[in-house]
Amino acid sequence: MAAPSHPPTLQLPGTTGFYRGKVRDVYTLGNRILLHATDRISAFDHILPREIPYKGQVLNQMAAYFLENVRDIVPSWLLAIPAPAVAYGLACHPLKVEMVIRGYLAGHAWRVYASGTRTLCGVALPSGMREGDPFPEPIITPTTKADAGHDTDISSEDILADGQIAPETYGQMAHYTRQLFRRGTELAAKQGLILVDTKYEFGLHQGRLLLMDEIHTPDSSRYFLAQDYETRQQQGERQVQLSKEFVREWLMARGFQGLDGQVMPEMPDDFVEEVSKRYIRLYETITGLAFTPEIPGNLQADLSHFLENPPMSYKTWVNLGTE
């Protein structure tokens, strides 16, 4: 069944298209796009009924921080941050594959492994692993990028057999993915963290492969605390996870995993507040920057003014916080 269409929240000059994602509103402006990171939150491919204060700003500024830190590795779509929860950049033709890379056995990979399966996306998984164990080397386990519903695991062989992505393009995506994960691992280590797994999305702009969307945020990544990692593994304890996995676990504890017939639980005020506080703590822990909550005035007026004279190339970041 087709996803319902939604009218744009903002009336922006030059808009040629609009798409409402699970948590972001995307405005197409010719060969540019403006991405509004809302305070919506999703889990198990469902939008939860309550918004999380400052979540959009947290993710937008964190994504900008990390995109700035990988600019020497791969060109990205991002040109400017015109508002706390808004990003502006190049409109790309998205490649319908998410490049998931995993350094440790956790999350979806662990659930697959615990079921007895020893392959994931065509990649053989070593025997005798425990939840939280590192792989001998990071593995790439791609998924299809669904417009609606669940993303699906897929092997690199099936991606190439499908013919939608040229072999040389996929090879470049895999190369960038490993370099980006290496850089993300280095940045995490400086903050006393372990980058467990993450995903990257790519698109084409005028034939050029660009990094798209957010990277290394708690919505797209999972982190462990490095300090007590070894002790917890040795004692068979679950690792402390810095991601939105705690939201998924809260839902699972109340009988919801997005399956047919399951009812989304109510989100009480204290849980919504706790989720907001945890997102802010994640931002400060992962980036090492202080978070300053900002509430824009008239967002539509501010963005309309920005679009009257937008940058044509990379512009210095704003609203990234202070160390």
Residues 108 and 231 both lie in one domain: yes
Give the predicted TM-score (pTM) of the model. 0.85
287 lies in the same domain as 177 = no
Averaged pLDDT, 262-286:
92
Q: How confident is the model at residue 9 (pLDDT cuts 50, 70, 90)?
A: confident
Q: Would residue 124 count as lying in a domain?
A: yes
pLDDT at 270 over 90: yes
Please check whether residue 12 is in contact with residue 82, taking contact to mean a CB–CB distance below 8 angstroms. no
- For residues 101 and 233, membership in a common domain is answered with yes
- Are residue 142 and residue 108 in the same domain, yes or no? yes
Lowest mean pLDDT among 47-56, 274-283, 314-323: 314-323
pLDDT at 101: 98
CA angle 33, 38, 44 (to 5 degrees): 105
CATH number reported for the structural domain that contains residue 234 in this entry: 3.30.470.20
Residue 145 has pLDDT above 80, yes or no: no
Q: Choose from 58-67, 123-132, 160-169 the range with maximum mean pLDDT.
A: 123-132
Residues 84 and 119 in one domain: no
* Residue range(s) defining the domain that contains residue 79: 17-91+249-307
**CB neighbourhood size of 254 (10 A):** 12
CATH of residue 87: 3.30.200.20
- Helix 55-69 to helix 167-190 angle (10° resolution) is 110
- How many separate helices (H) and strands (E) can be counted in the chain? 8, 17
Question: Residue 284 has what pLDDT?
Answer: 94
> Of 218, 241, 264, which closes a domain?
241
What is the band of 316 on the pLDDT scale with cuts at 50, 70, 90? low
Residues 146 and 274 in one domain: no
Q: Is the pLDDT of residue 322 over 60?
A: no
Q: Could you read off the pLDDT of 54-96 as tens digits, one per residue? A: 999 999 999 999 999 999 999 999 999 999 999 999 999 999 9
| Residue pLDDT, tens place only, 180-217 | 999 999 999 999 999 999 999 999 999 999 999 889 98
Residues contacting residue 302 through CB under 8 Å, at least 6 positions apart: 82, 83, 296
Is residue 319 assigned to a domain?
A: no
**Nearest-angstrom CA–CA distance, 314 and 89:** 9
pLDDT of 323 higher than 60:
no
The confidence score (pLDDT) of residue 147 equals 58
| Residue 34 host element (H or E) | strand 32-37
Pair 164, 69 in one domain: no
Residues 231 and 172 in one domain: yes
Q: What is the pLDDT of residue 321?
A: 40
Which residues, including other chains, have CB under 8 Å from residue 52's CB and lie 6 or more apart?
A: 39, 40, 41, 272, 275, 276, 279
Same domain, 54 and 101: no
